[in-house]
Amino acid sequence: TLPRPFGLAVGALVLAGIVFLVPTGLLKSTEAKESTKRSVEREQTHVAVKRQLDPLRQMAESTPALAEFKDDLDGLEKLSGGKLERPADIRHEAVKKIDKLEDAVKQRLASEKYEAVPEMRKLLRGLKSPDSAEAPTQKLNRALSKGDFKAAKEEVQALREQLATLKSEEDKETVAKLSEQLENIAKQLEQLAKDEQLAQKLEQAGIKKEDVERMLEKLSKADLDQLKKQLEEKGLSQQQIEKLAKQLQQRQQAGATAKKLAKAMKQGASAAQAGQQGEAIAGLTQAEQQLSELEQLEQEMNQLDAAASALQDAKDNLDKPCPG
């Protein structure tokens, strides 16, 4: 029987011989294949990232509401040809950047000027239409109550153009009816802007009536801070406080817009007064501009919503592995 150390030595020599017998070209070929495989995987990942980023970049170029995010999207585009080696790292970095951009878009959507739009639509639902289907403002009332700013703008434009042609003594009755109904819209808007339901909620929570009226008229950051402090002292939870403060903020914005529109409508209602037709037409022009601004804000909101959805889809797709 051979000694154990001798057997181990022989095994080592045999193993060394096998290594020397393996052709050098075979080892190099294996390394080359692995390198090629890694290169192919990187390229596939770059293509996958670019496929997700191209539509986002094109969206930014064609969408005015996304103009401020164009540079960020261009930065994402450069990532697809970057120096990251591992496919997982490339995807992870792309997802991180898209996630950051999505947060920025959502933050923009949460700004006061956009949040006032759905609140304004909600406020306008309370608007009542004239009893007569033949009333000059029937279509305008209907468009406003539906929150259709585009249709409402077009109806105001039509009324303004109609008013410009009503000059004879025979048109006095039509002018009077139009003025009366515009006055009615103005009064309803002023009443809806007060939001008695929210005012009652705040009063029940211990806020003085005069403070509520003042804050619904004009709201400052100091007012909001004071409101939150008072509500906390009354024992409301943080969630209840934030909800009420947010409601007040949104409603004040919508109420201010409604009052501005009411003022323009009231000016339009002055058409029945002698020598005030030019003033009335100017009022309707202002109302048309205000509705046009609301329409524009709504369009921007829809664009930002679509962008946020597209960014989420891009993240979801990049989280999926490359097809084999």
* CA dihedral of 35, 41, 44, 50, whole degrees rounded to 10: -100
- For residue 88, name the pLDDT band (cuts at 50, 70, 90): confident
Contacts of 10 (CB under 8 A, 6+ apart): none
- For residue 10, name the pLDDT band (cuts at 50, 70, 90): low
Is the confidence at residue 211, as pLDDT, over 70?
Answer: yes
- For residue 22, name the pLDDT band (cuts at 50, 70, 90): low
Please give the residue that has the higher pLDDT: either 261 or 58.
261
Is the confidence at residue 189, as pLDDT, over 80?
Answer: yes
- Between CA 286 and CA 306 the distance in angstroms is 30
Other Cβ atoms closer than 10 A to 230? 17
Model confidence, pTM: 0.76
Q: Is 23 helix (H, G, I), strand (E, B) or coil?
A: coil
| pLDDT given at position 1 | 52
| pLDDT given at position 324 | 44
Q: What is the mean predicted confidence (pLDDT) over 139-167?
A: 91
Q: What is the mean predicted confidence (pLDDT) over 153-172?
A: 83
What would the pLDDT profile of 260-282 be if each residue is shown by its tens digit?
A: 999 999 999 887 776 678 888 99
Structure tokens that stand for 244 in this block: 């009420």
Residue pair 220/296 in contact (Cβ under 8 Å)? The answer is no
Q: Is 131 helix (H, G, I), strand (E, B) or coil?
A: coil
Please give the residue that has the higher pLDDT: either 127 or 63.
127
Is the confidence at residue 292, as pLDDT, over 90?
Answer: yes
DSSP 30-54: HHHHHHHHHHHHHHHHHHHHHHHHH
- Between CA 108 and CA 65 the distance in angstroms is 10
Q: What is the mean predicted confidence (pLDDT) over 167-173?
A: 71
- Between CA 262 and CA 120 the distance in angstroms is 13
| pLDDT given at position 158 | 93
| pLDDT given at position 186 | 94
Is the confidence at residue 24, as pLDDT, over 80?
Answer: no
Indicate the burial class of 271 (C-beta count within 10 angstroms; 0-12, 13-18, 19 or more).
buried
Is the confidence at residue 298, as pLDDT, over 50?
Answer: yes
